[in-house]
Amino acid sequence: MEELTTAESMVMKTIWDHPHEMALQEIMKLTNETYGKDWKSQTVSTYIAKLVKKGFLRMNQSGRNATYEIIIPELSYQQEQSRKFVKFWNRGSVAQFLTAFYKDHKLTKEEIEELRKSIDELDQ
């Protein structure tokens, strides 16, 4: 799976957050609102074309109207990017990653319980 640029990630995250087939104008409006951009349709169209080429989206054409649907789910991309990050920065150690991530951040009891629950689920 190819990596996304920052701009492509913004467009793709917008689409993942609204998981229905969308036309260019809706994607542009939502991306601009969410990320405080003022991108024109040509700019967003270029990013969408790259997302189609990378296999993240499928274009469905009906006459002159095109809509885009998700091919790669958000969770799949998150998992792959997380694994790459931990492998590169923490030599593959999730424990090192968590230590670095939470070193200067005091966890709440709820966060600790959530982590314990997740770890217990991995053990089953």
Q: Is residue 57 part of a domain?
A: yes
On whether both 85 and 64 belong to a single domain, the answer is: no
Residue type, 74: E
On whether both 78 and 66 belong to a single domain, the answer is: no
User: What pLDDT, in 10s, does the model give residues 61-101?
Assistant: 999 999 999 999 999 999 999 999 999 999 999 889 988 88
Give the pLDDT score at 101.
85
Q: Is residue 1 part of a domain?
A: no
Q: Residue range 29-38: average pLDDT?
A: 98
Instruction: Please spell the DSSP secondary structure of 66-109, one letter per residue.
Output: EEEEESS-HHHHHHHHHHHHHHHHHTT-HHHHHHHHHTTSPPPH
Write out the residue range of the structural domain in which residue 44 sits: 6-70
Number of domains into which the chain is organized: 2
Q: Is residue 97 part of a domain?
A: yes
Give the pLDDT score at 107.
86
Terminus-to-terminus CA distance in the chain, angstroms? 29
On whether both 56 and 96 belong to a single domain, the answer is: no
Query: What is d(CA 89, CA 96) in angstroms, rounded to the nearest whole number?
Result: 9
Q: Is residue 14 part of a domain?
A: yes
pTM given for the model: 0.85
On whether both 89 and 41 belong to a single domain, the answer is: no
